[in-house]
Amino acid sequence: MEVIHPRCAGLDVHKQTVVACVRIAGDGAPLQQVRSFDTTTSGLLALADWLESFGVEHVAMEATGVYWKPVWHVLEGHFQLVLANAAHVKNVPGRKTDVNDAMWLADLLAHGLIRASFVPPVAVQELRTLTRTRKQFVRERSAHVLRIDKVLEDANLKLGVVLTDIMGKSGRAVLQAIVDGHTDPQYLAGCVNSRVKASRAEVLEALRGRISAHHRFMLKLHLDHIDALDHAIADIEKEVGLGLEPFRQAAKLLTTMPGLSAVSSHVIVAEIGIDMSRFATPGHLLSWACMCPRNDESAGKRRSTRLRRGGKWLKTTMIQAAWAAVKVKGSYLQAQFHRIRSRRGAKKAIIAVAASMLTAAWHMLRHGTEWQDLGAAHFDRADATKTANRLVRRLQQIGYKVEITPA
């Protein structure tokens, strides 16, 4: 097999150590040198010097948790780095050692058999960390709100029945009054805004419960956590605003698409960046985001078309945006959703809409154009004959004799 990179190295990265194998191709058998280094900063600098002493140009490593990141940061700029998906470079079963893994990576890299994973620039990596942390904090905040509701139910307070949001202005005032030691329903009802839909009698009945010291302690505990999370989320929003400065125009373009809010556009930019040359086609981006059907065929039979697991940060954001987009009346995305749902169901339809939105995002970021809606009648215009035949068949099924004449 042809050697693509004559001087390369493979790294088997762990938490405390990294095993390096240098492979140098010559006239005869290739020369291979193996050495282990610590993952401390001094150890990684020694690794870089050792690789340079052999004239290594290309280095491959597996994406092992977060342990590959410090190695990447130290070696970046000195070598051509390739990050491999561990599932794509599995060794022969029964030969699993750190040394064999490093040698196997070096052999694969030398022959150009490693498909490099997408590693965004540092600015995009930092923005990605912020948006992912924000999403985790928002989920944690929602979990604390649910726990507060469970505490209220345990105290037989039906606050969630008369208020849409128990953490709104009225709900928060009632919760604070309970924490302060007030149990009189009349007093608690006075904290509720008169503009709520529930009547005064319904509010009084909902706030008549059995509140104990334990309930007050648990409510205070959760409210303190929510306040801390709100403060942290606000700080993250400021950092996202600063980190988004180089990509603000691209994020603004994405918000012209139905269903994409400012937060969703920030997540998309943080996950895929703005340089679409990394993805040759929109299909490559969909595959990377695990939003296209898998290939699982044997003996001429298609066994499964389920989506691959992975891409949870981008995939969940796109699906949430798709549910918002299909509510926009008279839009192409809504027409696409209803068209597919009638044949395949809502779940497959919403995945298809999310994939269409990500495809459009690829074109918008690549060409710098705004969203151009094709309209709800796009599918009818695209195949008028097929639509007419379907409608004729439907009329015939319900007992009508139909003759059609072109207008």
Report the CATH number of the 7-110 domain: 3.30.420.40
Mean pLDDT over the full length of the chain: 91
User: What value, to the nearest 5°, has the Cα angle with vertex 294 and ends 115 and 128?
Assistant: 60
Q: DSSP for 119-162, please give it.
A: ---HHHHHHHHHHHHHHHHHHHHHHHHHHHHHHHHHTT--HHHH
Strands 301-302 and 80-84: unpaired
The confidence score (pLDDT) of residue 97 equals 84
pLDDT tens, residue by residue, 161-214: 999 899 999 999 999 999 999 989 899 999 998 888 888 899 999 999 899 999
pLDDT tens, residue by residue, 82-102: 999 888 887 766 667 888 889
- Higher model confidence: residue 237 or residue 295? 237
Nearest to 64 by CA among 93, 86, 43: 86
Q: Tell me the two tokens of residue 114.
A: 């490693």
Strands 31-38 and 297-298: unpaired
Strands (DSSP E) contained in 108-254 are none
49, 118, 290, 346, 380 from 318: Cα distances, Å: 44, 19, 12, 15, 26
pTM given for the model:
0.84
**Residues listed for the chain:** 407
Nearest to 268 by CA among 326, 196, 320, 345: 320
